[in-house]
Amino acid sequence: MLKNSTQTSLEGFVLMGFSDRPWLETPLFVIFLLAYILAFFVNISIILVSRLDPQLYTPMYFFLSNLSLLDLCYTTSTIPQMLVNLWGPQKTISYGGCVAQLYISLALGSTECILLAIMAFDRYVAICRALHYPVIMNPQHCVRLAAGTWISGFANSLVQTTLTATVPRCGHQVLDHFFCEVPALLKLACTDTRLNEALLNVLGSFLLLVPLTLIVGTYGFIARTVQRIRSAESRRKAFNTCASHLVVVSMFYFSAISMYVQPPSSYSRERGKVTALFYGILTPTFNPFIYTLRNKDVKAALRRALTKEFWVS
């Protein structure tokens, strides 16, 4: 079956996925399908209530809706292809489809790196410079920050995709992964890729570690400010506004750093697949729940939408 797929994929790639464990394909198909449906509808719900409910017209929910859009697009760029490969005997993807998937997933992941830092800055201004918050985080500034985040993410992806897609592969087509990703694609190279690896590591490290350093520093200032608050209720409220973001940051950066801040030559296929499942499916699926379960405003907005109280008002 795999041999036939290779023969019919002269200009593309064979995505091995879980072909070495065929008994896993059906249960994984069901799990991924349910995860995608769940992520799709929950992220769509957050985007809609953030844009339609006047009580959520704040910078925090503007950036949260951007995060939901990122998660929605990311899962759409990877999971449907995975479902097709899990369901049928054909495990192929065209060269153009592979490059497009690589570019989009890298762009969205890069954008999320920067967006999480912007969201941390928003929490810093809200807590540490509360009196200046409406001026600093005015709607025009928020739109510029969001636009810059998306543009930077897609520009970075263009460079990384070019460095990855142009590596000679000498006809190697069997990709030991379930979607097109940098370390797995570089494994197919038939030439010395040390320069590509070095450049990709520099870009990956800069994009991951610089925003993460800003986030850590920002929360250092926030922690110092919260300690000075005398009211226990105010401290709890300040902590709750940051806790969800910190959980999302921890999940995203742990998996992304373990995947991309390493030489692709040391890439382990099993660890790569597990890590990709974590940040490619679990994180985008659980992100909206992490925010809504700890956020009274979002839960209230969802209830108003479901009970039509919002539409009446």
Which pLDDT tens digit goes with each residue over 144-181?
A: 999 999 999 999 999 989 988 888 887 778 887 878 88
Q: Which residues contact 1 (CB under 8 A, 6 or more apart)?
A: 89
Query: Tokens for 272?
Result: 């790569």
What predicted TM-score, i.e. pTM, was given to this entire model?
0.84
Contact 29, 83 (CB under 8 A): yes
* Topology of the domain covering 2-312: Rhopdopsin 7-helix transmembrane proteins (1.20.1070)
Query: Pairing mode, if any, of strands 12-15 and 174-175?
Result: parallel
Domain boundaries, the chain: 2-312
| Overall average pLDDT of the 99-103 stretch | 91
pLDDT band for position 272 (cuts 50, 70, 90): low
Which amino acid appears at position 199 of this protein?
L
Which amino acid appears at position 3 of this protein?
K
Buried b / exposed e along 263-288 (16+ C-beta atoms within 10 A): ebeebeeeebbebbbbbbbebbbbbb
